[in-house]
């Protein structure tokens, strides 16, 4: 098989004096016989070093009690074995295939859950199959074809979401706005790298991905993204430059059906005090709003991407009281549109 992933795998096991069978012997069969074994992680992606572990993601027949890795150390190598029941994995795959991103409705926690789901399932699709039945090998190959679209959609949404956060924070917390602008550019660059074959879903390797692609322009943009301004005076120009750059990476993204969805962040509460309302989060910070304000009561505020936010909505967002999500057209009840 002419696969660069196979070469990386063979180099790793040879370095530790292991045979392929010894690696397969590390798979726990307590929950049934393996249906598919995939080598994944930084070693297979080509970013590992002498201390890196090899991840073995295995599909088994029965439900698994825990998704925590089972670690073994044959010949000093570190092998992390992750087991997943076949039914659970197929349910997750069907859910991923049937859903869109951004979704029709979005809630706090959905972004974290989506990122976790993409990371987990693309390990199977982007890794190196070591063993499998015919049906599961065919499934793995189909999954590999689907993974690129999921990753592209994810980074497109994150780039736009971070850009919106930077614009909102610009007048209130300029240094934070600069960091968020850099985050937007990093997401756009991750999408750019994935579109050119560097699909491993770990942002910490972005610089190495761009170096391997030999993309000098993207590397220069990466250097800008990880070097946000150190003074408020520099922020406006920095955000403008990032905005100009983002257009070149995200120009193909159709955002016409997207909406910003701002909702009370977890731990945020409203208390009435006569003519005013106190909005607080976890009792650690608070803001006062008038009874006639558009944010006097908790709800969802929805805006088109080109639409200005209510100033009080923006202020609460900048105080970390509101969570920013992105959804497709299909407005939730209580929205401002």
For residue 155, give the nearest of 108, 193, 124, 107 by alpha carbon: 193
Contacts 24+ apart (CB under 8 A), 1-6: 3/128, 4/46, 5/39, 5/44, 5/127, 5/128, 6/128
pTM (2 d.p.): 0.91
pLDDT along the chain (337 residues), means of 10: 84 94 92 94 90 92 78 92 93 92 94 93 94 96 92 97 98 97 98 95 94 97 97 97 96 96 96 88 89 91 96 95 91 43
State the pLDDT at residue 337.
44
3-state secondary structure the chain: CCCHHHHHHHHHHHHCCCCHHHHHCCCCCCCCCEEEEEEECHHHHCCCCCCCCEEEEEEECCCCCCCCCEEECHHHCCEEEEEEEHHHHHHHHHHHHHCCCCCCCCCCCHHHHHHHHHHHHHHHHHCEEEEECHHHHHHHHHHHHHHHHHHHHHHHHHHHHHHHHHHHHCCCCHHHHHHHHHHHHHHHHHHHHHHCCCCCCCHHHHHHHHHHHCCHHHHHHHHHHCCCCCCHHHHHHHHHHHHHHHHHHHCCCCCCCEEEEEEECCCEEEEEECCEEEEEECCCEEEEEECCCCCCCCCCEEEECCCCCCHHHHHHHHCCCEEEEEEECCCCCCCCC
What pLDDT, on the 0 to 100 scale, is given for residue 335? 45
CA distances from 123 to 2, 248, 337 (A): 20, 29, 40
Task: Mention every residue, 6+ apart, whose C-beta is less than 8 A from residue 181.
Answer: 162, 163, 166, 228, 238, 239, 242, 243
- Whether 185 and 223 have beta carbons less than 8 Å apart is answered as no
Q: What is the pLDDT of residue 65?
A: 66
Contacts of 323 (CB under 8 A, 6+ apart): 108, 262, 263, 264, 265, 266
Report pLDDT for 331: 46
Say if residues 185 and 218 touch (Cβ distance below 8 Å): no
| Integer Cα distance of 144 and 152 in angstroms | 13
CA distances from 239 to 159, 233, 324 (A): 13, 11, 19
Q: What is the pLDDT of residue 253?
A: 96
In the prediction, which pLDDT does 248 show? 95
Contacts of 264 (CB under 8 A, 6+ apart): 108, 298, 321, 322, 323
pLDDT value at residue 312: 95
* Angular region, 115: left φ>0, alpha ψ -120 to 50, beta rest: alpha
**228 within 8 A of 181, measured Cβ to Cβ:** yes
């Amino acid at each position: 098989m002419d696969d660069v992933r196979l070469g990386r795998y063979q180099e790793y096991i040879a370095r530790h004096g292991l045979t392929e069978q010894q690696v397969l012997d590390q798979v726990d069969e307590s929950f049934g016989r393996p249906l598919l074994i995939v080598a994944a992680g930084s070693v297979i992606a080509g970013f590992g070093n002498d201390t890196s572990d090899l991840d073995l993601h295995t599909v088994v027949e029965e439900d698994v009690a825990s998704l925590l890795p089972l670690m073994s150390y044959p010949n000093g190598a570190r092998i992390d074995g992750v087991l997943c029941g076949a039914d659970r994995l197929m349910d997750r795959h069907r859910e991923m295939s049937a859903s869109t991103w951004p979704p029709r409705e979005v809630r706090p926690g959905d972004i974290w859950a989506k990122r976790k789901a993409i990371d987990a399932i693309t390990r199977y699709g982007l890794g190196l199959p070591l063993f499998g039945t015919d049906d599961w090998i065919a499934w793995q190959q189909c999954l590999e074809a689907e993974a690129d679209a999921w990753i592209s959609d994810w980074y497109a949404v994150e780039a736009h979401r971070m850009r919106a956060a930077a614009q909102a924070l610009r007048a209130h917390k300029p240094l934070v706005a600069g960091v968020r602008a850099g985050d937007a550019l990093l997401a756009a660059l991750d999408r750019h790298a994935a579109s050119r074959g560097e699909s491993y879903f770990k942002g910490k390797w972005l610089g190495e991905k761009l170096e391997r692609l030999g993309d000098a322009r993207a590397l220069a943009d990466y250097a800008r993204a990880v070097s946000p301004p150190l003074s408020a005076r520099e922020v406006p120009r920095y955000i403008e430059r990032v905005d100009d750059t983002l257009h070149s990476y995200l120009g193909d993204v159709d955002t016409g059906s997207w909406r910003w969805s701002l909702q009370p962040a977890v731990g945020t509460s409203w208390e009435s005090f006569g003519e005013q309302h106190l909005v607080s989060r976890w009792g650690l910070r608070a803001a006062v709003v008038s009874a006639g304000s558009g944010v006097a009561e908790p709800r969802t505020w929805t805006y088109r991407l080109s639409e200005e936010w209510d100033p009080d909505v923006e202020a609460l967002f900048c105080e970390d009281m509101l969570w920013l999500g992105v959804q497709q057209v299909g407005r939730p009840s209580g929205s401002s549109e």
